[in-house]
Structure 1
Amino acid sequence: MAIKGQIYDVSQSRMFYGPGGPYALFAGKDASRALAKMSFEDSDLTSDISGLGVFELDALQDWEYKFMSKYVKVGTIKKTVPVTDGETTEGDAKPAEAAPSESVVPEPKETTTGGEADKE
């Protein structure tokens, strides 16, 4: 599971993130928006945190600190951003604070790198 582009190994908490667990829907995804909003809606299972309010961003930061202290970081989500029609460029995920929340950016395709995230 990932928060703000950072992938964490949550396998030690299978009862929560494994099949049938209360947070299983977050597994294998960047759940930043859902965590910030405390949402279990499929539409919020995304890394897109644009438009979130101060309280939601604070909640997301709290989740990030919890994950950093409890779970091992095993990778980073790489984003592919369209440059022109038919061309793409790969770049590392930027911290959420670095992107202005008012800008509109095309939805990037996400791939994972490192650790257990590459295994199926």
Structure 2
Amino acid sequence: MFYGPGGPYALFAGKDASRALAKMSFEDKDLTGDISGLGPFELEALQDWEYKFMSKYVKVGTIKKTVPVTDGASNGEPAKADNVAKPAEDGPSESPAVKSEETPTGDDAKNE
């Protein structure tokens, strides 16, 4: 399994790694959905990844993005916020290359 524990692409599983895919990077700092500042070549690469994933894998979920919010207390510290994968719904994904644990289909399942 490429995306399973210990697999070469495990770092991409269950998170929005759009920036890393666009930059073809395995660096932790790029494992984010922030695609600001990417150039046309990188955005095209990201689009290519989306098409590849859409044709090869069944969508099993989307990444729930949360924003830290203050709880109204005077200390001004943000409340805890987590990025959590949730099951897929019938609508389109929120981000082009968002994938949680992908499941190979058809002939691809035999090759992986």
Does residue 1:111 correspond to 2:96, yes or no? no
The answer for unaligned runs of 5 or more in structure 2 is: 73-80, 89-99, 101-112
Classify 1:49/1:22 alpha carbon distance in 2 versus 1 (closer, same or farther; 3 Å).
same
Deviations, residues 5-38 of structure 1 (Å, cap 9, x unaligned) = xxxxxxxxx1x22233221221222111100000
1:45 to partner: Cα distance: 0.7
Summarize the alignment of residues 19-34 of structure 1 with structure 2, pairs less than 5 Å apart. 19-34=5-20
1:109 to partner: Cα distance: 4.3
What does residue 22 of structure 2 align with?
36
Report the AA paired with residue 70 of structure 2: D
Per the alignment, in what secondary structure is the counterpart of residue 70 of structure 2? coil
Report the AA paired with residue 111 of structure 1: V
> How many residue pairs align between the two structures?
81
Deviations, residues 24-55 of structure 1 (Å, cap 9, x unaligned) = 22122211110000001011111111111111
Summarize the alignment of residues 67-106 of structure 1 with structure 2, pairs less than 5 Å apart. 67-82=53-68, 85-86=70-71
Identity of aligned residues (%): 78
Structure 2: how far apart are the matches of 1:43 and 1:66? Answer: 24
Q: Which has the larger radius of gyration?
A: 2
Report the AA paired with residue 86 of structure 2: T
Summarize the alignment of residues 53-72 of structure 1 with structure 2, pairs less than 5 Å apart. 53-72=39-58
Question: Which of the two has greater helix per residue?
Answer: 1
Q: Which has the higher contact order (CA 8 A, sep 6+)?
A: 2
Structure 1: how far apart are the matches of 2:45 and 2:14? Answer: 21
1:86 to partner: Cα distance: 2.3
Question: Which of the two has greater strand per residue?
Answer: 1
* TM-score normalised over the length of structure 2: 0.62
Report the AA paired with residue 29 of structure 1: K
